[in-house]
Amino acid sequence: MPNSIDRRKKYTRMVLKDSLIQLLKEKPISSITVKELCELADVNRSTFYAHYYNQFDLLDKIEEETIEDMKGYMNKFKYEKKEDVPHIMENLLGYFSSNRDVCQTLLNETETTFQSKATVVAHQFFLKNWTYMNDQEEDLTEYLSTYVINGAIHVVKAWLANGMDKSPGEMAKILNHFINKGLER
């Protein structure tokens, strides 16, 4: 019996999350009601409130789960040389590709904190793993990581919006070129 309850809870949370992501493609979170979310998910409001306080709480949980998933994915890898950078980018782009719907929606939603949370995670990962940069001045590394991460996030957003018209490997090469050579040909 406990397994069926766990499966029902998981299923309910999944359909609510999927429904919110679907609605976020059409309008901002502030325009979404619990009533329309429940109708789309085909669950009653009391079931919704058994899991979440409101639509903002649900969005926050989706963001937190995605960030934790991204952290776990990124922590599988350790990169210490400059030559490893394209691999980390390709792996991270692979993560975004396999989670395109959620990532694209969260990155495009103006009322979420997902982009800033993702920036913090990427920044921490950058400083922890790109040890070849440790010979740089500390404040230079801070500015460089901020520049690289924010630029890369906007490139990823454009890539997702363009239907991932290039493979993660091709995009990793493009980003690596931007980082290392800027506008140089």
Over residues 137-153, mean pLDDT? 76
pLDDT of residue 78: 66
Contact at 8 Å (CB) between 132 and 79?
no
pLDDT of residue 110: 77
Q: Which CATH architecture has domain 60-181?
A: Orthogonal Bundle (1.10)
Contact at 8 Å (CB) between 102 and 58?
no
For the chain, where do the domains classified as CATH 1.10.357 start and end?
60-181
Q: What angle is formed at CA 152 by the lines to CA 151 and CA 157, rounded to 5 degrees?
A: 100
Q: Which CATH architecture has domain 1-52?
A: Orthogonal Bundle (1.10)
For residue range 19-76, list pLDDT tens digits in order: 999 999 999 999 999 999 999 999 999 999 999 999 999 999 999 999 999 888 877 7
For the chain, where do the domains classified as CATH 1.10.10.60 start and end?
1-52
Tokens of 19: 């429904």
Mean pLDDT of the chain: 84
Q: How far apart are CA 182 and CA 135, in angstroms?
A: 21
CB atoms closer than 10 angstroms to residue 125: 20
DSSP H helices, 52-167, are: 55-74, 85-98, 100-108, 114-129, 138-161
For residue range 94-125, list pLDDT tens digits in order: 888 999 999 999 998 777 789 888 888 887 77
Percentage of the chain modeled with pLDDT above 90: 45
